[in-house]
């Protein structure tokens, strides 16, 4: 089919690099192929409500360095399981056909969906309905299957590293152990990379169950060496050797209902009780997801966006753009989505090197 008009949608949590992806899509589509481009506002909710707006070279000018997404986002609007209130009760309905009709109404020939596992699951499902879909992986957690790196990860690691740098001085001044809790869900990529880059003394990740006594041992060993402070970088999904994880709350109407949190405070409390070292916990939270994308993420986002448009023109629908080594490639959405999460190999090179230089993983 002849492609004349495409649209782009950003879903799920915001992430540094989304705007550079949008910019690259618009510039490539218009400059190289002479296409029209529409933006779907507010994720899949905007697709349901028909909130599509023109994207031009003028209105994407100046967004390369900006965090967030000019199209906005939502992580609660699964059109295949959409909530409605009826007779005072919430019921779920499949309204995906409305989204398909709106794409036809606006004359959209192909849709680029930028998001994480939940957003791309719906992209796969729309592909099954016959929509010409190209997926672009987005998550600071770097845990999406089939791609080496996702944009936003490098920026998040940089933010966490800077925060750890700042915490070193206050920890040393007060002879404290400071626990830094970072994002990552069930993958320890952010904690591992920022912990090594920031000089953490202990790194706790979901892939290596920790023994709190081993963590305390690392803190006490530093005291014996004359180091009166310690930095512990812990992923929010870190689990103990007994299998426990810390859940902050459960949000029933979310595609990802379990909200992890609280592990930092728990580790800090345990360290203080067992060692007598005054301990504090710092939760970095959404600061890791906001702000200006790094130069690496701007380049990577640009490559993802441009490649997505090229894949449309090549008719490679139903696929997700991937990064393999230094080359852009792709994999099917059917293969990407499911029970596959890219996690840290406990025996990988970076873990081995971290242990070689004396970083404890609590194991």
**Under 8 Å between Cβ of 343 and 205:** no
154 is catalytic: no
**Under 8 Å between Cβ of 322 and 146:** yes
- Tell me the C-alpha to C-alpha distance, in Å, between residue 324 and each of 140, 160, 306, 343: 18, 25, 16, 16
Dist CA 23 CA 302 (whole Å): 8
**Under 8 Å between Cβ of 8 and 63:** no
CA-nearest of 10, 66, 54 to 297 is 66
**Under 8 Å between Cβ of 284 and 261:** no
Exposed/middle/buried for 231, CB within 10 Å: 0-12, 13-18, 19+?
A: buried
- Tell me the C-alpha to C-alpha distance, in Å, between residue 309 and each of 38, 62, 104, 119, 248: 13, 20, 19, 19, 40
Of the residues 117, 125, 141, 154, only one is catalytic, namely 141
Q: What is the pairing mode between strands 230-235 and 202-204?
A: parallel
Q: Between vectors from CA 224 to CA 215 and to CA 207, what angle results, nearest 5°?
A: 20
Question: Hunting for tokens 């989304």 — which residue is that?
Answer: 18
| CA atoms 157, 190, 259, 76: torsion sign | positive
Active-site residue set = 141
């Amino acid at each position: 089919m002849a492609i004349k008009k495409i649209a782009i949608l950003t879903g799920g949590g915001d992430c540094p690099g989304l705007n550079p992806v949008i910019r690259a899509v618009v510039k490539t589509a218009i400059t190289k192929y002479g296409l029209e481009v529409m933006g779907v506002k507010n994720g899949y909710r905007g697709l349901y409500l028909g909130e599509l707006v023109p994207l031009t070279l003028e209105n994407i000018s100046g967004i390369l360095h900006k965090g967030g997404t000019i199209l906005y986002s939502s992580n609660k609007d699964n059109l295949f399981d959409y909530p409605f209130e009826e007779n005072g009760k919430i019921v779920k309905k499949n309204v995906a056909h409305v989204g398909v009709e709106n794409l036809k109404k606006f004359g959209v020939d192909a849709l680029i969906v930028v998001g994480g596992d939940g957003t791309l699951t719906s992209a796969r499902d729309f592909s099954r309905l016959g929509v010409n879909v190209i997926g672009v992986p987005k998550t600071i957690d770097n845990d999406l299957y089939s791609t080496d790196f996702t944009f936003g990860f490098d920026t998040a690691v940089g933010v966490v590293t800077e925060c750890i740098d700042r915490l070193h001085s206050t920890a040393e001044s007060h002879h404290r152990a400071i626990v830094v809790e970072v994002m990552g869900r069930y993958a320890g990529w952010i904690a591992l990379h920022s912990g090594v880059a920031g000089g953490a003394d202990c790194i706790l990740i979901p892939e290596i169950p920790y023994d709190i006594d081993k963590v305390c041992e690392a803190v006490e060993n530093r005291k014996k060496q004359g180091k009166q402070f310690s930095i512990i970088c812990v992923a929010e999904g870190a689990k103990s050797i007994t299998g426990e994880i810390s859940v902050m709350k459960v949000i029933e109407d979310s595609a990802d209902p379990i909200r992890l949190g609280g592990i930092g405070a728990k580790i800090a409390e345990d360290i203080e009780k067992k060692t007598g070292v005054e301990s504090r916990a710092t939760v970095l939270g959404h600061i890791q997801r906001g702000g200006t994308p790094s130069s690496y993420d701007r380049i990577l986002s640009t490559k993802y966006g441009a490649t997505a448009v090229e894949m449309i023109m090549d008719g490679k629908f139903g696929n997700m753009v991937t990064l393999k080594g230094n080359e852009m490639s792709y994999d099917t959405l059917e293969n990407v989505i499911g029970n596959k999460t890219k996690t840290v190999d406990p025996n990988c090179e970076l873990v081995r090197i971290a242990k070689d230089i004396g970083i404890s993983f609590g194991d």
